[in-house]
Amino acid sequence: MIPGHLPNLNEIIAVSKQHHMKYSTMKKDYTALVMIHARNLPKVGKSDFVITWYCKDKRKDKDNIIAGTKFLLDGLVKGGTIKNDGWSEVGNITHRFEVDKRNPRIEVKIYELDMANR
């Protein structure tokens, strides 16, 4: 669970237009935020991910919100939960959306795949 929200696509684009280092700083900061919350999770092999975005309202489009997936997966790699965020480690990613005005957050459920049954 990550409290709050991650930057949406419009915010990422706006920062990228300001200066090339601003996006780099944004990515580093938000990846570190996810890493902090992931560092005590067990290591997993190839997994499916269900990401529930609890937003404070419905003002942002869902396709903009899911841009934060980049920070989530990179943070899981940095935190040691997954080895990498390529096709060999990441199966399917499912996005769900809810509204929680009092407690916006992102919840990530990780389902390790049983490779023997695939």
In the chain, domain spans: 2-117
- Per-residue pLDDT of the chain (118 residues), as tens digits, is 999 999 999 999 999 999 879 999 999 999 999 999 999 999 999 999 999 999 999 999 999 999 999 999 999 999 999 999 999 999 999 999 999 999 999 999 999 997 655 4
Give the list of residues 6+ apart from residue 75 with CB closer than 8 angstroms, or none. Answer: 30, 31, 32, 33, 34, 35, 37, 38
CATH topology of domain 2-117: 60s Ribosomal Protein L30; Chain: A; (3.30.1330)
Give the number of other Cβ atoms within 10 Å of residue 1's Cβ: 10
Q: What is the pTM of this model?
A: 0.92
Give the list of residues 6+ apart from residue 94 with CB closer than 8 angstroms, or none. Answer: 48, 49, 50, 51
